[in-house]
Amino acid sequence: MHLNSTLLSGLLLGLAAAPMPASAEAQPASHAGEAPAKEGFVWDERAVEHLYNRAGFGATRAEIARGLDLGPESLVEELLSGGSEPDAFFYELLNRPNRLKMAFMEAAGRREYINGLRAKDRRQMTAFAIWWVERMLAGETPLRERMTLFWHGLFTSSMGTVKHGFEMIQQNQFLRRNALGSYANLLRGIIRDPAMLAYLDNNENHKDQPNENLAREIMELFSLGEGNYTEADIKDVARALTGYTKTRDGKFEFKSRDHDMGEKTVLGQSGRFDGTDVVEILLAQRACAEWVAGRLITYLEGAQPGPERLASYATLLAENNYQLRPVLRRLFLDPKFYRPEIRGARIQGPIDYLVSSSRRLGVEPPGVFVYQGGSMLGQRLLDPPNVKGWEGGESWVTTSSLMMRCNLMGVALGITPLEDVFVGPTKSAERDDPPTLVAGGLTGRRGARLERARAAESMEVEMDNGMDMGMDSEMDGPEALSNNGSLFSRFKSMGLMREFTMVKKFQAFEYEPQLNLASRLRRRGLSTDAEIARDLAEELLAIAPPPETLGTLESFLRDERQLWGAEDGFLLSIGTEAEHILRRLAHLILSLPEAQLG
């Protein structure tokens, strides 16, 4: 299913032209089993889902049911535990060529050898990013991965600037270890982090020629925020950081001969400070606690806190020596965290959208697909666009990015060949051409399916759980690209060779979504168009869709069902085509404006 149909195009154009749904449209739905939890909010399925959306990357229906049974306090404690840390990603130091080996090489051989090391380093870094995505998809330590992504966007470094990929891996693992621990330790460590020192040019910060990049960002973006320091402070912090550099094998090194030993004045305090002293001065500032608390709340709620609330959380953070768990615990049990205007009112970033949609569906696309998909949509992990990280919010939403988001989820559902995402539909798109009425009946691929169904209507067809019904012919499957030499030419002529390589890599996984929506709905005892549309919308969306949207979904089901001559309530009895229809319905739901929110 490619999003060139009239219905989906209309939905997307409407989303692109209008602002995202406001808080008035983001009211939580009521559910059975709701119970009072803390004064001021109700612990129901939508509340559980909201917590998982913000403290993780979405949740399955089973996880939501379990969270409802646990209650808010127990679920929050479970999230705060961070789970068991995963085995550290194994990486090699690939920046040092073997000079003895190179001594016996010709010039061309040396170049090839060095280029090979660089390519291997890039592949290693990509493999790590994919490993990270797979951690998000698994959902085993949701809050740890969520906070790792937060710190990655705050303490920004980029593989586009940092030459050695293993240094980016080291930094990410440092952020993961401390993601739920102490902000103070994060700040102390980041000024000694090799990737950060490289990214902000502190290797070029010498006592006779200071470089202010790291000093400026530490104060503006990492600790105090604009307006809480002077240019004179920046100059003296830069002097305090002279001599902070790294070795070639990715270790911190302090070069005392390059350090300015003179007296500095930082925020009114004077002394022969070094970087460690500066960090302690920053941590002692009220502005630091307010800055960190404000960034945390804004990131997790999607809205800036009011002055009194910010002051309360800043005090809590400072009184606990910048330990993060007390702040996160209060926030996740705060009735204001669950207020209606906050729920489902945050535009999801690309990684959020792809991971959470996959988790709600219950599919497990390859990590490389989510990583590359996020990159195509503007969120390439380990490579933020600038020192301020990703802008987020409405910057994620453009006409082209919305179309790409929805088509990528079509791939995850098994109804859109990945090559169609880049070069448009070829033969594989025929399976979604609308049927045409002629004297002898329906024509087109859908018409042929209808004739097959009618011929077999006396047979009871049951799908095996996990069987993929997304492809109708051999040429529609993952091997389609390799069997179509002209498609290579099309990619090449359009300058899309990187995308062609991505398609080939994706094919190598032979991805088939382990999904059986028809079986899922049967188990729930659902059968009518209204029941099916409402159930899948509630499962796949973070907010309740308005009645007119549900009406559109029901109309889609009605039209599809009537093509097969089935009465309302008998969609699931038409055989394997029911799964095709349900996947297209899921695709339609994930293309809605509401699906971009979480």
| CA dist 485 → 447, 479, 500, 508, 524 (Å) | 28, 11, 12, 17, 45
Q: What is the distance between the alpha carbons of residues 373 and 64, in angstroms, rounded to a whole number?
A: 27
Q: What is the distance between the alpha carbons of residues 103 and 164, in angstroms, rounded to a whole number?
A: 23
Residue type, 415: I
Strands, E assignment, 402-539: 436-438, 441-443
Residue positions counted in the chain:
598
Q: What is the distance between the alpha carbons of residues 349 and 22, in angstroms, rounded to a whole number?
A: 17
Return the number of other C-beta atoms located less than 10 Å from residue 248's C-beta. 11
pLDDT at 428: 41
pTM equals 0.83
Supply the DSSP symbol for 593: G
Beta pairing class for 264-266 and 436-438:
unpaired
Q: What is the distance between the alpha carbons of residues 245 and 193, in angstroms, rounded to a whole number?
A: 9
% helix, strand, coil for the chain, step of 5: 60, 5, 35
With tokens 């168009």, the residue in question is 529
pLDDT at 495: 72
pLDDT at 510: 80
First to last CA, the chain: 24
Q: What is the distance between the alpha carbons of residues 367 and 137, in angstroms, rounded to a whole number?
A: 8
Strands, E assignment, 210-320: 244-246, 252-254, 264-266, 269-271
Cβ(281)–Cβ(267) below 8 Å:
yes
Which residue from 414, 378, 384, 371 is spatially nearest to 398, judged by alpha carbons? 378
Q: What is the distance between the alpha carbons of residues 278 and 264, in angstroms, rounded to a whole number?
A: 10
Record the tokens describing residue 202, joined without a space: 């502190």
One DSSP character per residue, 185-213 reads HHHHHHTT-HHHHHHTTGGG-BTTB---H
Q: What is the distance between the alpha carbons of residues 454 and 447, in angstroms, rounded to a whole number?
A: 11
**pLDDT tens digits, the chain, 598 residues: what are they?**
554 444 444 544 444 444 443 333 333 333 334 444 456 789 999 999 999 999 999 999 999 999 999 999 999 999 999 887 778 888 888 766 666 666 677 777 777 777 787 888 888 999 999 999 999 999 999 999 999 999 999 999 999 899 899 999 999 999 999 999 999 999 999 999 999 999 999 999 999 999 999 999 999 999 999 999 999 999 999 999 999 999 988 999 999 999 999 999 999 999 999 999 999 999 999 999 999 999 999 999 999 999 999 999 999 999 999 999 999 999 999 999 999 999 999 999 999 999 999 999 999 999 999 999 999 999 999 999 999 999 999 999 898 899 999 999 999 999 988 777 776 665 444 444 333 323 323 333 334 433 333 333 333 333 333 333 233 333 334 344 444 556 677 677 777 777 777 777 777 778 899 999 999 999 999 999 999 999 999 999 998 889 999 999 999 999 999 999 999 999 999 999 999 999 999 999 999 999 999 9
Q: What is the distance between the alpha carbons of residues 545 and 525, in angstroms, rounded to a whole number?
A: 22
Q: What is the distance between the alpha carbons of residues 390 and 396, in angstroms, rounded to a whole number?
A: 9
Which residue from 345, 335, 300 is spatially nearest to 27, judged by alpha carbons? 345
Cβ(503)–Cβ(411) below 8 Å:
no
Cβ(347)–Cβ(596) below 8 Å:
yes
Which residues have a Cβ under 8 Å from the Cβ of 276 and sit 6 or more positions away?
188
Question: 513: helix, coil or strand?
Answer: coil
Q: What is the distance between the alpha carbons of residues 189 and 116, in angstroms, rounded to a whole number?
A: 32
pLDDT at 91: 81
How far, rounded to the nearest angstrom, does the alpha carbon of residue 314 sit from its chain's CA centroid? 28
Record the tokens describing residue 83, joined without a space: 């789970």
Q: What is the distance between the alpha carbons of residues 515 and 416, in angstroms, rounded to a whole number?
A: 15
Which residue from 596, 54, 594 is spatially nearest to 303, judged by alpha carbons? 54
Which residue from 432, 425, 388 is spatially nearest to 581, judged by alpha carbons? 432
Return the number of other C-beta atoms located less than 10 Å from residue 321's C-beta. 12
Strands, E assignment, 74-209: none
Q: What is the distance between the alpha carbons of residues 421 and 125, in angstroms, rounded to a whole number?
A: 25
Q: Count H helices, E strands: the chain?
A: 27, 8
